[in-house]
Structure 1
Amino acid sequence: MKITNLTIVGSGVLGSQIAFQSAFHGYSVVLYDLNNDVLDKAKQSLKILAENFKKDLNASDEQIEATFSRISYSTDLKEAVKDADLMIEAIPENPAIKTAFYTELAPLAPEKTIFATNTSTLLPSTFAEVTRRPEKFLALHFANEIWIHNTAEIMGHETTDPEVLQNVVDFAKNIGMVALPLSKEQPGYIVNSLLVPLLDAATKLLVNGVADIETVDKAWMVATGAPVGPFGILDVVGITTAYNINKIKFEKTEDETAGKVVGFLKRNFIDQNKLGLSTGEGFYKYPNPVYRNVDFLKP
């Protein structure tokens, strides 16, 4: 099946990026969210993305204008998916929220529609049955700033149709991604299987009073040559994601350190709406975080 029409559910950081990237490469996109206030914020985010595409990809005004012409907006889920060949879900990293969403979506979408979840840590098999089309359901994970970090990890589950998986691999390539199909389910795919332990270790060092934010990031940046440290990465990923991952871990295992991390992030960041780059402040303040200062790594 040729994928032509997309529906992106969730207009947050990654949802907006997926929508813009897909429209930039010629796809017709419907961006869905719960209400117009949320979509209005997404429209502002898309304007910022447009400037990034001009700066980083040398996109022309004509390309940007054409991109916006391919994006429409909806708060009606049935209407949003009525023509969808592929639905990509980018809603909060919470199993209960995702289960409720797929329960609502399943009877509304056309039979042809492939469902893909952008979950960064959860397995597609967790939700396969509730989608009521397990053979047309898989995970499709993008990294943040997808026009630069252009990876697309494609992970099916035991009953995903191989042809469906290949269709999504082809779609990912068509929107400029380096497609990374997995041979079996793996929590965290490839990238997050490598990245999450780093971010988790950094957060534990902070919460346990071993070192402060800047010292941890300096250690990583100087020792490895990385352009950004783990707390800078967490600001881009979004502190809410780190909070939700640790909250799920604590609820499942009652791990004491995970509980401390949850409390620390809630008090100091979540409750104060310091969620990272998206809100202008997280571990650092934006648009000019101190780790980008020319003397940040000087002896």
Structure 2
Amino acid sequence: MNTLNNVTVLGGGVLGAQIAYQAAFHGKNVTVYDINDEALEAARERFNKLVSVYVEAMPDAEEGQAAKAAESISLSSDLAEAVVDADLVIEAVPEILDLKKKVFSDLAKVAPEKTIFATNSSTMVPSQYAAEAGRPDRFLALHFANNIWVQNVAEVMGTERTSNEAYDAVVAYAEETGMDPILVKKEQPGYVLNSLLVPLLNAASALYVNGVADVETIDHTWRKGTGAQSGPFQMYDVIGLRTAYNVSSASDNPSSIKFAEILKTEFLDKGKFGVASGEGFYKY
């Protein structure tokens, strides 16, 4: 399979913008699709903010490389236009199953035959919407972590029907874009990273909603006891509280449901989305 040079990212939110910018920074031809001009303008603002982040984080980069990456990214609210010559499409829409099914169903109608489809879902496995994608041999998961320029893991997970050729091409793409590919051998909800991380976050939220300890104490305990740089609620802020809400509200665990209610009333309804908005459990 040829090198995956033309990349379309579906969704210009916090992580979608990072995925797109990371690819552009490493020389890929990148288009970002989102539902309207307002969403695309927000994505453009995210690219511009990432310029200074990359300049600071990557001092050995070529002069002007960071700015050129932001300028090179194309934006479109027309799905067919956005994927017209895509080698790879990376879906980065909210963690809502019906939404992902619709996105891939719409995508399958307009994408070229050559295009590999990848989902960036952090909680779902690709076989949950493989039927909608319509190309089982060229459909898999490619999961990124937030703060992609530092936490540069890219988990590659296929289904039983993903071809070796498509899988290897996506692994190569990850390497070409500065990522450390994590080869997941079989479908696993949460992949490797979130299979380790989610139990920690769930335990922290349960301690919080049940009044065992406050946010600062929980985070302090984790940092001191393990030597970690961040506590679980600092991680929640980086991940984004909208994502935390979507995941928690879909759970049947009473503590998770209570946590989702708190996230909505005390944070989301007040415009506190985490690091992206400047405030979540902490102020930034």
Fold equivalence (TM over 0.5): yes
The partner residue of 2:271 within 251, 270, 273 is 273
RMSD: 1.0
- Structure 1 residues 72, 208: closer, same or farther in 2, change over 3 A? same
Find the aligned partners of 2:153 and 2:260 in 1 and give their Cα distance. 29
Q: SS at the partner of 1:173?
A: helix
The partner residue of 2:259 within 258, 261, 271 is 261
Find the aligned partners of 1:46 and 1:163 in 2 and give their Cα distance. 32
Other-structure match for 2:229: 227
Other-structure match for 1:27: 28
Find the aligned partners of 1:278 and 1:90 in 2 and give their Cα distance. 16
Q: SS at the partner of 1:146?
A: coil
Per-residue deviation, residues 79-112 of structure 1 (Å, max 9, x unmatched): 0000100000000001011011111111110000
Contact preservation (8 Å) 1:8, 1:29: yes
TM-score by length of 1: 0.92
Q: Offset at 1:66?
A: 2.8
Find the aligned partners of 1:73 and 1:223 in 2 and give their Cα distance. 45
The partner residue of 1:100 within 69, 80, 102 is 102
Range that drifts further, 96-105 or 114-123: 96-105
Q: Offset at 1:128?
A: 0.6
Contact preservation (8 Å) 1:27, 1:70: no
Structure 2: any 5+ residue segments left out of the alignment? none
Other-structure match for 2:38: 37
Per-residue deviation, residues 260-290 of structure 1 (Å, max 9, x unmatched): 112111111121121101111100011xxxx
Per-residue deviation, residues 18-38 of structure 1 (Å, max 9, x unmatched): 111101111000011111111
Q: Offset at 1:69?
A: 4.0
Structure 1: any 5+ residue segments left out of the alignment? 287-299
Find the aligned partners of 2:98 and 2:8 in 1 and give their Cα distance. 21
Find the aligned partners of 2:256 and 2:71 in 1 and give their Cα distance. 45
Other-structure match for 1:202: 204
Find the aligned partners of 2:279 and 2:98 in 1 and give their Cα distance. 28
Equivalent position amino acid for 2:241 in 1? I
Per-residue deviation, residues 121-165 of structure 1 (Å, max 9, x unmatched): 101000111111111100000010111111000000111111100
Contact preservation (8 Å) 2:127, 2:159: yes
Q: Offset at 1:201?
A: 0.6
Q: Offset at 1:60?
A: 4.5
Other-structure match for 1:283: 281
Q: Offset at 1:120?
A: 0.3
Range that drifts further, 232-241 or 263-272: 263-272
Range that drifts further, 55-64 or 80-89: 55-64
Find the aligned partners of 1:65 and 1:196 in 2 and give their Cα distance. 35
Q: Offset at 1:61?
A: 4.1
Among the aligned pairs, what percent are the same residue? Answer: 49
Other-structure match for 1:150: 152
Q: Offset at 1:256?
A: 2.0
Other-structure match for 1:213: 215
Q: Offset at 1:70?
A: 2.7
The partner residue of 1:175 within 174, 177, 200 is 177
Find the aligned partners of 2:167 and 2:203 in 1 and give their Cα distance. 34
Equivalent position amino acid for 2:230 in 1? V
Other-structure match for 1:296: none
Equivalent position amino acid for 2:57 in 1? D
Q: SS at the partner of 2:251?
A: helix
**Equivalence map 1:58-137=2 (5 Å):** 58=59, 59-137=61-139
How many equivalent residue pairs?
Answer: 282
Q: SS at the partner of 1:78?
A: helix
Find the aligned partners of 1:72 and 1:183 in 2 and give their Cα distance. 34
- Structure 1 residues 49, 181: closer, same or farther in 2, change over 3 A? same
Find the aligned partners of 2:164 and 2:216 in 1 and give their Cα distance. 46
Other-structure match for 1:297: none
Q: SS at the partner of 1:112?
A: coil
Range that drifts further, 231-240 or 38-47: 38-47
Contact preservation (8 Å) 1:234, 1:276: yes
Contact preservation (8 Å) 1:30, 1:74: yes
Find the aligned partners of 1:168 and 1:28 in 2 and give their Cα distance. 15
